[in-house]
Chain A
């Protein structure tokens, strides 16, 4: 084995150091916000090597070893696809940190450890993006989930937070058991757990029932992470009970990591058995979007609503590759592009939605929609931001969400047969259903009266902590920019999808 390519590993190394430094800073100072600052500086530092790796070809000092940097005998690969997601996860963690600062200060929770765990979870997601064998992937997955289990229960005094953590933990462990079961079955049959070798070997044994079962177990294990039906039960409860910044991270970082795992496994390890997992994912996508949307209509708590919305959005993201694979399409690149593009846009708009929800809830003191009436009369700016993010989630132009849906429709119709058409039509109807509950939030803010007994002047006087306001501004700008120039997100999607072509998908 040749020398280790430290440049390729630099983001992970920096994040790992950040994890350690946050612990030290936590011990030596009483000013806990310094811990958060440390963590954010770590995020900034970590994004630099991601960029230098991405633009390696045009940088002088960069000694490129080819387009993709393959490490550890193929177990760990840094390519366009993994870089897009590394960038995305670091961005998401950065925003989650910004959201946490004011939130934790206001409620006197343990702070130092919180940031430590959040950075650790982010590290797991970043590792996940490059994992190309099952061992590193399972380790990465647990590094994402383990801290998240703890974070979900951070509000110790609140039974709901405890419930959130317990539910999340139990279903997480169940999913992990399924995943490991599947991995060991596949390993037993093929003798390898590295993706490129699996891709080569799986064609010959794709008919074997045990192998098929193993593949399905693995994919269902990931269904938990992306909160797709039927592993969605934890989602609404955990979203509601966990501290809101943690929920923001779960809905973007942790979910995104799940999608990365799913994409890597489906496209890179088992493209030969696409006719097996394709229909399964088609079904999962269909049920997730329909069930998520219909149940969301009835929700009165914003966090639960976002939980079901997250389930439905997972369905939209799964639709392209379910449809593409189910029909035995050779051209998986379009589907891959659509899902990556969707995830990029979703990350920005969902983080923004959480930012604005956290700010409003901290003023009103409740996540119940009925308490939010008349928001626009005392905080027009916040109400406007709320409308921007929720309408973006609903996919209304000119806000970024439209292009996510557009890419999804494009990929599903591009499949060119009824697997694709049917899911596209289902998604179109679902997009209409989704508007009902997204618009409900906007309606409450703009069209309902202020509830009786609320001191509007006191609410008007309250100020938003600068870090959250910054996160809000950043994501709002992103949503509008990506809505008007969606090419920016599409380019990331295309860049990420190169990996499929490279692997001969």
Chain B
């Protein structure tokens, strides 16, 4: 397939969903099933192309960019920005994740429409999100990256704001009363926009600086990484640029103390919104650290590493403790994301091959596991009409299959060996025993390792706390004599790929490492002279 080699295949993967969104918008509102089938068809074709891409991918050369468009495909000639996209071993798992989640979300929403019912608009937003997510993972031009990075904001804003939770929330400090969905959507957007505005400033600064060393200024991540590994970005300039990038990516991850948008957004979003947010959108931040911040500014990455590591571990502990204080099931899962993303960032901060591999497998695993958890939480609140863990209980009795799935997902999330969640946590801790010597803070990282290990215990603690409340015990009087439908066909269809993925990666992590390892090793070797 020649058209795969020259970048057409990848471009199709990126833009097919948005074409699907336009198609969906063109269908009259009344033809609901046609709308659903159209959306599903576009997402399935995209997934098919992604699978073809993964099959054709040359894993023995995973550190090279493959299936890319020509590096000089002009997009905006005035600023020398190019339409340059390609995949390597680091982005490939992310692209697959995004495509899979998109399909599953559309299948799940078949009979789970959040209020106000408007499948047309909701599915259009899902498809636009797919383009934004995939585009971010394959963009190799900073301007292109920025645009895709931002494209995901509006659909998610609408998703939370229109279909979100209508409970009233009192805003801290000022005591305004406002609907949860409105508060959360605005907060989500403002936090991300704040970060990305500074990220953009950092990109532009890099662009101008590159002109001092090259014939022509460049936005290309590859050329900038080459400059970065040659060590040309130094001093205050590099510090400020890294600070800008850090703000942009850390808000997205989110790292403590910039995480406060996350519990609100995840809790308020409709089920499929939470799933997409947790499974894919958070990874845009960690991916940015790996793809942009570290290779382009390796020296700064080294000097920021202890700081990032400390914030990551604070995130782990803080997130876990916050989980233990929750009564809202969705909010608990949301805070658990703060903790898990902390492990991923700890892995990144070590700047070692083990750490970065841990981060990437952690990203994939967190995507699958937390995606599943949010699906289940959504389905449960659909049936119980509440997410309050003090009211629901005895799910094992009422809906045994649902209860087992929740137990499975919780076990995966707390890092049970032989399930996907294990590798990310375990290897992140392993890596922080022996971080990159250049950092010169091995002791600090070993202390962080200890705290991280305590974090894993806390993780087990809150997951079991959730299981005890939700799964076990007798159903409360409220629900005791009610007959609740157990997992239905659409749910099986949407969830089983996640379950299979969690087990498969847990048993055979090489599914991910096979793609990432070589790319990670070469990235670090280039940055730090390995």
Contact = CB atoms under 8 A, between A and B. Distances in A.
A85 interface: no
A96 to B, nearest CB: 28
Contacts of B193: 431-432, 435
Interface string B187-204: 001100110011011001
A98 to B, nearest CB: 25
Contacts of B150: 396-398, 402
A398 B208 contact: no
B181 interface: yes
Nearest to B25: A384
Contacts of B143: 406
Contacts of A464: none
B1 interface: no
B35 to A, nearest CB: 13
A428 interface: yes
Given A402-B150, A446-B161, A487-B78, A409 B204 contact: yes
A409 B201 CA distance: 7
Question: Which of B29, B79, B182, B207 has the most A CB atoms < 10 Å from its CB?
Answer: B79
Contacts of B186: 436, 439, 443
B205 interface: yes
Given A409-B200, A424-B201, A428-B200, A397 B151 contact: yes
B77 interface: yes
Nearest to B153: A396
Chain A, interface SS category: helix
B146 interface: yes
Contacts of B121: 376, 380
A303 to B, nearest CB: 23
B75 interface: yes
B194 A410 contact: no
A74 interface: no
Given A447-B161, A447-B182, A428 B204 contact: no
A6 to B, nearest CB: 33
Contacts of A436: 186, 190
Interface string B3-37: 00000000000000000000000000100000000
A425 interface: yes
Contacts of B207: 410
Contact of B76 (A398, A429, A443, A487): A487
A446 B75 contact: no
A490 B181 contact: no
Interface in B137-160: 143, 146-147, 150-151, 153-154, 157-158
Given A402-B147, A435-B190, A413 B77 contact: no
B162 interface: yes
B200 A493 contact: no
Contacts of A486: 76
A494 interface: yes
Q: How large is the interface on B (under 10, 10 to 19, 20 to 34, 35 or more residues)?
A: 35 or more
Question: Which of A337, A402, A406 has the most B CB atoms < 10 Å from its CB?
Answer: A406
Interface in A74-121: none
A94 B151 CA distance: 32
Question: Which of B143, B154, B158 has the most A CB atoms < 10 Å from its CB?
Answer: B154
Contact of B77 (A416, A439, A447, A487): A487
A414 B207 CA distance: 9
Interface string A126-168: 0000000000000000000000000000000000000000000
A434 to B, nearest CB: 10
Contact of B161 (A402, A414, A431, A443): A443
A321 B121 CA distance: 42
Given A397-B151, A425-B201, A432-B194, A490 B79 contact: yes
Given A432-B194, A432-B197, A491-B77, A396 B154 contact: yes
Interface string B158-196: 100110000000000000000001100110011001100
A476 to B, nearest CB: 13
A431 B197 CA distance: 8
Interface in B94-120: 116
Nearest to A410: B204
Contacts of B197: 428-429, 431-432
Contacts of A403: 76
B75 A487 contact: yes
A272 interface: no
A487 B157 CA distance: 28
A391 interface: yes
A413 B194 contact: no
A410 B189 contact: no
Q: How large is the interface on A (under 10, 10 to 19, 20 to 34, 35 or more residues)?
A: 35 or more
Interface string A407-430: 101100110100000001100110
A452 to B, nearest CB: 17
Contact of B200 (A406, A416, A447): A406
A397 B146 CA distance: 9
A447 B162 contact: yes
Contacts of B189: 435, 439
A487 B29 CA distance: 35
A66 B179 CA distance: 64
Interface in B227-276: none
B245 to A, nearest CB: 14
Contacts of A377: 116
A432 B204 contact: no
A491 B77 CA distance: 8
B515 to A, nearest CB: 29
A403 B77 CA distance: 13
A425 B181 CA distance: 30
A135 B201 CA distance: 41
Contact of B147 (A391, A398, A429): A398
B147 A446 contact: no
Contacts of A435: 189-190, 193
Contact of B78 (A380, A432, A494): A494
Contacts of B79: 406-407, 410, 490
Given A414-B208, A447-B181, A432 B201 contact: no
Contacts of A490: 76-79
Interface in B27-75: 29, 74-75
Given A416-B208, A447-B182, A428 B198 contact: yes
Contacts of A416: 208
B102 to A, nearest CB: 19
Contacts of A397: 146-147, 150-151
Interface in A181-200: none
Contacts of B74: 487
B181 to A, nearest CB: 7
Nearest to A377: B116
Contacts of B182: 443, 447
A403 B81 CA distance: 12
A136 to B, nearest CB: 31
Nearest to B77: A487
B193 to A, nearest CB: 5
Contact of A491 (B78, B185, B205): B78
24 contacts: A396-B154, A397-B147, A397-B150, A398-B147, A402-B147, A403-B76, A407-B79, A410-B204, A413-B201, A413-B208, A414-B204, A416-B208, A425-B201, A428-B200, A432-B194, A439-B186, A443-B182, A446-B161, A447-B181, A485-B75, A487-B75, A490-B77, A490-B78, A491-B78
Given A337-B78, A391-B154, 20 more contacts: A377-B116, A380-B29, A380-B121, A396-B153, A397-B147, A397-B151, A402-B147, A406-B200, A416-B208, A431-B193, A431-B197, A432-B194, A443-B161, A443-B182, A446-B162, A447-B162, A485-B76, A487-B74, A487-B75, A487-B77
Interface of B: 29, 74-79, 116, 121, 143, 146-147, 150-151, 153-154, 157-158, 161-162, 181-182, 185-186, 189-190, 193-194, 197-198, 200-201, 204-205, 207-208
Interface of A: 337, 376-377, 380, 387, 391, 396-398, 402-403, 406-407, 409-410, 413-414, 416, 424-425, 428-429, 431-432, 435-436, 439, 443, 446-447, 485-487, 490-491, 493-494
